[in-house]
Amino acid sequence: MRILQWAFVGLLSLATADSNLTHESRNILPSNFKPQQHFRNVNLVRNINLEKNYVRETVNVVIENVDKAAQQEYFLPFEPGSIANVGGLEVRDKKEPEKGGFVAEIAATDAQSPTEFYKIILPAPLEPKAQLTLSITYWTLASLQPLPAQIGQTEKQYVLYAFSAYAPAAYDTQKQKTKLKLPTTDVPDSVTLPKSLNAEGKEDPQKQGTSFTYGPYSDIPAGSIQEASVRYEFTKPLTHSKLLERDVEVSHWGGNVAFEERHWITNRAATLKNHFSRVAYQQAAYYNPPMAALKELRFPLTVGSADAYFIDDIGNVSTSRFRTNLREANLELKPRYPVFGGWNYSFKVGWNGKLDGYVRHLKGESEAYVLKVPFLDGPKQIEGVEYERVVTRVILPEGAANVRFETSVPLISNTTSLHRTFMDTLGRTTLELTAINVVDELRDRELIVTYDYPFSAQFTKPLTIFAGLMAVFVVSWVIGNLDVSIGGKKAA
């Protein structure tokens, strides 16, 4: 039997002596490890992109069935506690990416097991000895830690990213390497691994500008972890949205689609060492140095958007610009105060769009309509924005029925319900979609909602209002004609 538990503690050296980076080696697979050793990773290349404030990983791996029977389920392990921050996991056949993503789901593991897995279902069972190249992509939220955790208002920020130099794998891996793409060459600390681990006996990592390559490594047993980390300059906000509630309200009668987004943002950046100084902040505004505070949010909206508003907990915020013309609709918001590390900011923004820009009558089906909107608008920042939870509600007109939807954004739940507001008789059909661990890269993904809106229902609203007005008229007429004078009928 293979010995899974092994360690290298003590063998390792650091790039700089004063850094406190750890680099222990261990095995993350529990003793009651479930996935059967049906596969072998023949060759694995992992790319970790650190250019944004969330981490994007791409793993290209040639897998081989080493079992006697055809196999269809491939497991991908995550370190204890980390799977909760993973989002947008997609798996494709590297050689035929156009064929679409494979089914990948979080595998139910028993409570005892600290390691969690994604179970990837191959589109067809892989025959014994056959190989397949998987391309696995995902991002992880909240994985950069400011170090030091406190800085001065105009100081540079450094963040620590801890990872395993061996790609976490549920199977033995013959050959592998991990490449990091850093945002800068200012990297004061990085774990240096002993040359003896490197399959080519080279310096580990190999550094080339903003690219660091750990490995290659040969014959790494399943579950092996080789801790490593890098600390690099990232003087940008770590914008983290705890919750985004987005409403898309369709009104056929008004010829309008109203959008509203309610944001609860926190900046995960290093906190301020001293009290905030507005004087220093205003002085800095002249030379505009990089800063870890969030000063501006940019929302590129659909062309033709109008009537934008920006309201925070205190009220209307006037420090915003809405530039619209035939080619663009850009909403540029300045929060009421710069949002430094550890600070929160919540606000709502809204705007209107013309119905015919988003809703189309389905040809051939007299009562069917298609709504096509971005899954989320939200700010688009160079450094990125990550969302813990996005709840999108599509509020359809009264009488809309048979609601179906489609989106390539992975969802954790969807519900259709009735939502009643003033002057509604039936209530409006509301579709609510929840996604977790989303990043601003998904801004361009679409949400397509199809629904039936019977001709008769289209008159419900005007008829309700008409009936309401009639009722008021009748009531006032009746009241006006009532004889309420004291003493009954006047004597003639």
Binding site for ligand NAG (CB under 6 A): 20, 147-148, 242, 266, 316, 318, 342-344, 411, 414
Nearest-CA neighbor of 11 among 26, 21, 30, 24? Answer: 24
Please report the DSSP string for 38-107 in residue order: -EEEEEEEEEEE-SSSSEEEEEEEEEEE-SSS-EEEEEEEE-TTTGGGEEEEEEEETT-GGG-PPEEEEE
Nearest-approach distance from CB 277 to ligand NAG, in angstroms: 17
Nearest-approach distance from CB 316 to ligand NAG, in angstroms: 4
User: Which lies closer to ligand NAG via its Cβ, residue 39 or residue 343?
Assistant: 343
Question: What count of Cα atoms within 13 Å lies in the side-chain half-sphere of residue 84?
Answer: 4
Whether residue 235 contacts residue 290, with contact meaning beta carbons closer than 8 Å, is answered with: yes
Nearest-approach distance from CB 33 to ligand NAG, in angstroms: 30
Nearest-approach distance from CB 209 to ligand NAG, in angstroms: 25
Both structure tokens of 41: 């990773």
User: Which lies closer to ligand NAG via its Cβ, residue 106 or residue 411?
Assistant: 411
Nearest-approach distance from CB 203 to ligand NAG, in angstroms: 24
Please report the DSSP string for 289-304 in residue order: ---SSB--EEEEEPTT
Both structure tokens of 275: 């009290």
Distance CA 324, CA 379 (A): 16
Please report the DSSP string for 217-267 in residue order: EEEEPTTEEEEEEEEEE--S--EEEEEEEEEEEEETTTTEEEEEEEEEEEE
Whether residue 276 contacts residue 340, with contact meaning beta carbons closer than 8 Å, is answered with: yes
User: Which lies closer to ligand NAG via its Cβ, residue 162 or residue 411?
Assistant: 411
Q: Is 337 exposed, middle or buried (0-12, 13-18, 19+ CB in 10 A)?
A: middle
User: Which lies closer to ligand NAG via its Cβ, residue 33 or residue 310?
Assistant: 310
User: Which lies closer to ligand NAG via its Cβ, residue 169 or residue 447?
Assistant: 447
User: Which lies closer to ligand NAG via its Cβ, residue 145 or residue 213?
Assistant: 145
Nearest-approach distance from CB 189 to ligand NAG, in angstroms: 9
User: Which lies closer to ligand NAG via its Cβ, residue 225 or residue 449?
Assistant: 449
Nearest-approach distance from CB 185 to ligand NAG, in angstroms: 20
Helix (H) or strand (E) holding 151: strand 150-151
